[in-house]
Each structure stands twice: as C-alpha cells, then as structure tokens.
Amino acid sequence: MADIEALTEPSRKNGCTLPPHITQVIAWVVLVVFGVLHFTSLVPALHNSWQPAAHAVPGVVIFVHLIVHVATLTIDPCDDKVLQAKLPKVKLNRAKHSFVIEDGHCNFCQVDVGYYKDSKIRHCRECNKCVKNFDHHCPWLNTCIGAKNYRWYIATLATALVALVLVTGIAVMEFITYFTDKNDRNILQPYRDLNATLHYKDADFQILYQRVPHEAWLAMLAVLFTLGVVAVGLITHLLGFHIYLIYHKLTTYAFITAERPKKSQTKLNKNTTSCYIKKGKVNPSNNKDSSFNNTVQGTCLPSFNFLRFIKRGNRSNVEIQPTSASAIPAENNNNSKLVMDNELNGTTLFMVDETAMRFTANSSFQNSVL
C-alpha cells in the first residue's frame, strides 16, 4: 500500500449515478420531445383510420426502447472480482506504476483481474472501475459498455433507430401532404374536417393538442424531421459499426488501439523529410561534397521538429532545406541515430529514435523548446 496517496472519489455504479453527463441529458430530452410531439401533434393530424396504428406501432417501439434503455443504464458492468472485493479505489504513484493494470493486477481496484489478452478486462477512468469485456464508455448513457450490458446496448440502439425512423417518416409525410393534399383533402384529418366551401387555411392544426397557426405547425415539423434525419444518420452509423465489430469479434477498444499505430505511422510519413546537418546548415541530401565527412547523417528528419529543438540564440545559424527520402544516396539511407553536430557551438543538438522517430531534447536544450 506504499503507492496509496489518497482515496479517490467512489466509482460510478451505473448510468443512473449522479451527476449525469450533458450528452445523457440531451439524449433524454430528445427522447421525451420526440415522443410527446408524436402523440400530441403528429397523430392528431393523420386520417382518423390511420391514427390507431400511428398510436400503437411507435408506442410499442418506444415502450420497448424505454425498457432496454433503462436496463442498459441500471446494469453495473463492473467485473465480479472487483464487486466481491469491495476495496476502495486509490491514486497511484505514477513514478512506480506505468500502467493501470500490470501483471494482471489493477493498481486502482487493488484486485487481480487477469491478463488483458485472456480476460479482456480494462479499467475505465470515467467510471473508475474494471469492466469485463470492456467495449467503451458511452457518454450518451453515462455508463461503461461491457460483457454484462452489451446486448442491452445493441437493443437500445436498434429500438431507438426504429422509433426515430417511424416518427421522422410521419413528420416528413405530413409536411409534404400539407401542400399536396390541400385540394383533395384525403390524408390529413384537419383538411377532411373542413366543409367544401372553407379554405384550407381554416384547417385546425395542433401542437400539444392546442390549435396553432399553420406556420408554427410547419416549423415544428421542419425542426422535428431535421433533427430526426440527423439522429437516424448517427445511430445508423453507430449500429452499423457495432455490427461490423460483432462480425469480426472485436470490441471498440480493441479496434481503436489497433488503428492508432496505423494513423500515427501515416501522419509520420506525411510530415517527414531527409537531410544532412553541417555547420548549423541543413543541406539537400543529394550533396556529396567531401566536407560532409564529419557530419552525422540521419534519415526522415521532420524539419518542423528540428526547428523546435534549436536553441534560441543559434536559430539564425540554421537553415532548413528539406528534401525527399528518395534523394538520399543508398549508402546513407540507414536510419542511423542523429547524435551531434560538433560544429554548431560544440553542443549536442538533439537525438532521434530510429524506430518510433521520437525527438528528445538534450538537457542543455530542454528549457529552450519553442
């Protein structure tokens, strides 16, 4: 227990634990607004014979969504070993521990959780607990998604998508038929209730069962289906992504960690050049002048990183002339370490790691990084 500095805040039990996340509040507001407007504003405008189905079908879907949504929120995805131990979460001495889980032991939960590749347990810093088969922390539900609630999470996405498609589809249909049905008066009930002698502007359209001007009703429809289309697009993308993960037997965490090195390498390749250094001047690498013999050679040197490690007082002595890696002579293209330029005031300038291409300032330059 030597690494305990102080007890942290208690871990979150589930998505109902306070305080709520702002995106969780937004999700509930959208759910309530769409549900209330559907039953009090959209359904009353439909043909009387269509209204029972418009009440029943979306109503059942929304009801099922509420059940799976609440189930996802209330299930505690914490690993059983951590729940049984009931130990306080601690802050760690980062000088001693490089990782949260080391040798199968969680240094936060103080429990042996097993090796990640075998148990797939990860410690969520948002909830401050270890989660079995950790997939991701969902801010919209304000809880971790893992082995215990992943199926409920997928059901939440699927039912939300179906409900949004139904409500958004009805809103789009009513907006269009407001203009196309004003003469035939076969679809919208407010038009059907008019006498043949009355103008379509006399139709009684409602929001929250209260009569409103036609412009207000149309504006409500426009906002509703615009938000609906955006929400349908986002949830379709998210559900499709998880279907892809299920098919390939991956988790979101595993997918992201696998993609991160690829993105880093791609970014590195786009921002690197090759060069020589001589007397504080960076020259094109196709220069084979014999006076370069005492100059340390390096490949793939990012010019913007080079500038960051130049001592302020010597910045005027340095000139950058980047060149492509293809211009380096074959005998010099060896990814060697760039250690020192003896002719730049006799000081070590910087060092390049040959594999990860990380640039580290020498101790004499650490206080002069731009």
Q: Is the pLDDT of residue 126 over 50?
A: yes
CB 7 within 8 A of CB 88: yes
Confidence of residue 344 (pLDDT cuts 50, 70, 90): very low
Give bridge partners of residue 277 from the DSSP assignment.
Answer: 282
Segment 353-364, tens digit of pLDDT: 333 333 333 333
Q: Is the pLDDT of residue 8 over 50?
A: yes
Segment 319-342, tens digit of pLDDT: 444 434 444 444 444 443 443 333
pLDDT of residue 100: 75
Confidence of residue 347 (pLDDT cuts 50, 70, 90): very low
Out of 103-112, 124-133, 183-192, 318-327, pick the least confident: 318-327
pLDDT top residue among 88 and 135: 135
Beta-carbon contacts of 350 under 8 Å, excluding residues fewer than 6 positions away, are: 306, 309, 338, 359, 360, 361, 362, 365
CB 316: neighbour CB atoms within 10 A?
9
Q: Known catalytic residue: 138?
A: yes
Mean pLDDT over 26-44 rounds to 94
pTM: 0.67
Q: Is the pLDDT of residue 241 over 50?
A: yes
Cα 154 to Cα 88, 151, 255, 296, 321: the distances in Å are 31, 5, 17, 57, 54
CB 21 within 8 A of CB 9: no
**Terminal alpha carbon distance of the chain:** 40
The SS3 call for residue 201 is helix
Q: Is the pLDDT of residue 294 over 90?
A: no
pLDDT of residue 114: 73
Question: Using CA atoms, how far apart are residues 112 and 104, in angstroms rounded to an integer?
Answer: 6
Question: Using CA atoms, how far apart are residues 315 and 313, in angstroms rounded to an integer?
Answer: 6
Q: What is the mean pLDDT of the chain?
A: 74
Highest mean pLDDT pick, 8-12, 41-45, 102-106, 304-308: 41-45
Q: Is the pLDDT of residue 31 over 70?
A: yes
pLDDT top residue among 289 and 221: 221
pLDDT of residue 9: 58
Q: Is the pLDDT of residue 300 over 50?
A: no
Q: HSE-up of 63 (CA within 13 Å, CB side)?
A: 6
The SS3 call for residue 123 is strand
- From its phi and psi, is residue 86 left (phi > 0), alpha (psi between -120 and 50) or beta? left
Domain boundaries, the chain: 1-270, 275-368
Across 318-336, b (16+ Cβ under 10 Å) vs e yields beeebbeeeebeeeebeee
DSSP states of 44-105 as a string?
Answer: GGS-TTTHHHHHHHHHHHHHHHHHHHHHHHHS--B-HHHHHH-PPPB---TTT-SSSEETTE
Mean pLDDT over 122-130 rounds to 86
Sign of CA dihedral 361, 366, 368, 369: positive
Beta-carbon contacts of 58 under 8 Å, excluding residues fewer than 6 positions away, are: 38, 163, 166, 167, 170
Q: Is the pLDDT of residue 287 over 80?
A: no
Beta-carbon contacts of 71 under 8 Å, excluding residues fewer than 6 positions away, are: 149, 152
Q: Is the pLDDT of residue 229 over 50?
A: yes
pLDDT of residue 245: 95
Question: Using CA atoms, how far apart are residues 305 and 360, in angstroms rounded to an integer?
Answer: 10
Catalytic residue among 127, 138, 144, 275: 138
pLDDT of residue 266: 62
